[in-house]
């Protein structure tokens, strides 16, 4: 079975600090995709990124970057120069080998002004 | 292109009543997924449907819960005889295909409160 672990339950930072959210996954599949979603206080789920297991290059999108390390089964997410609007719960998710995306427990990020 | 739409956004029911949650997938998407998020928890898969078919309902409680995705109209998640433990946010997602590679796009959720 596929499994995702987000060990950090809550993280609190001050605005403009960099912050990294960890995600460790387990899978028997050789090919897979990983996702990150954001859930702001308003409650909706926002898709952030999808990463193919074949592509080990880091990805950067504005202040967001993702570090995929296949050797350690990690797919960590870094926010550079955090802002108050980044405060949210962030979920890491792999597909399960079908269509049932399994979400980790999420990491709640608080960014203080 | 409108996103996934869910209604109502908030629903209040008394114990024993029925709750009907609606989900309209994104245009061009024929696959719908329902998830439940209990307070302070992550999302749990409930059911996956295609038009007129339930593909996987392994996450659905055995009783009182049902889902459908008719040929015309939105997908419906129905909860009969609601209990307080059903209070949660229910999210619908859609994708164009079923493959693992597909991104699921989520609706804003329906927050069900059972009094």
Residue B47: pLDDT above 80?
A: yes
pLDDT of residue A2: 67
> In chain A, what residues touch B45 (CB-CB under 8 Å)?
100-102
Residue A54: pLDDT above 80?
A: no
Q: Is B111 on the interface with A (CB under 8 A)?
A: yes
Q: What distance in Å separates the CA atoms of residue A24 and residue A28, rounded to the nearest whole number?
A: 14
Q: How far is A34 from chain B (nearest CA, A)?
A: 9
Q: What distance in Å separates the CA atoms of residue B24 and residue B15, rounded to the nearest whole number?
A: 27
Query: Parallel, antiparallel, or unpaired: how do β-strands B105-106 and B75-79 relate?
Result: unpaired
Q: What distance in Å separates the CA atoms of residue A94 and residue B100, rounded to the nearest whole number?
A: 9
Q: How far is A99 from chain B (nearest CA, A)?
A: 6
Rg of the Cα atoms in chain A:
14
Residue B103: pLDDT above 90?
A: no
Dump pLDDT digits (tens) for A84-113: 999 999 998 876 545 667 777 799 999 999
Say what percent of chain B tops pLDDT 90.
66
CB-CB neighbours of A102 under 10 Å? 19
Average pLDDT over residues B91-107: 78
User: Taking Cα atoms as reference points, which of A61, A48, A56, A101 lies closest to residue A74?
Assistant: A56
| Count of CA atoms in the C-beta half-sphere (13 A) of A95 | 21
pLDDT of residue B68: 96
Check A100 against B41: CB less than 8 A apart: no
pLDDT of residue A31: 76
């Amino acid at each position: 079975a596929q499994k995702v672990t987000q060990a950090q339950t809550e993280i609190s930072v001050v605005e403009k600090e960099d912050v990294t959210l960890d995600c460790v996954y387990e899978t028997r599949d050789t090919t897979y995709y990983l996702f990150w979603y954001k859930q702001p206080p308003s409650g909706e789920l926002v898709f952030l990124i999808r990463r193919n297991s074949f592509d080990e290059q880091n990805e950067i999108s504005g202040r967001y970057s993702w570090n995929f390390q296949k050797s350690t089964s990690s797919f960590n997410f870094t926010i550079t120069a955090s802002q108050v609007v980044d405060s949210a719960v962030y979920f890491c998710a792999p597909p399960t080998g079908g269509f049932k995306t399994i979400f980790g427990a999420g990491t709640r990020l608080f960014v203080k002004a | 292109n409108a996103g996934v739409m869910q209604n109502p956004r908030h629903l209040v029911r008394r114990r024993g009543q029925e709750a009907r949650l609606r989900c309209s997938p994104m245009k061009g998407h024929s696959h719908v997924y329902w998830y439940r998020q209990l307070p302070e928890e992550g999302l749990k898969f409930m059911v996956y449907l295609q038009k007129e078919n339930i593909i996987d309902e392994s996450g659905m409680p055995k009783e009182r819960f049902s889902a459908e995705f008719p040929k015309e109209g939105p997908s419906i998640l129905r909860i009969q005889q609601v209990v307080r433990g059903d209070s949660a946010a229910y999210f619908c997602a859609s994708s164009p295909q079923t493959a693992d590679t597909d991104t699921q796009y989520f609706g804003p959720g329906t927050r069900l409160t059972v009094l």
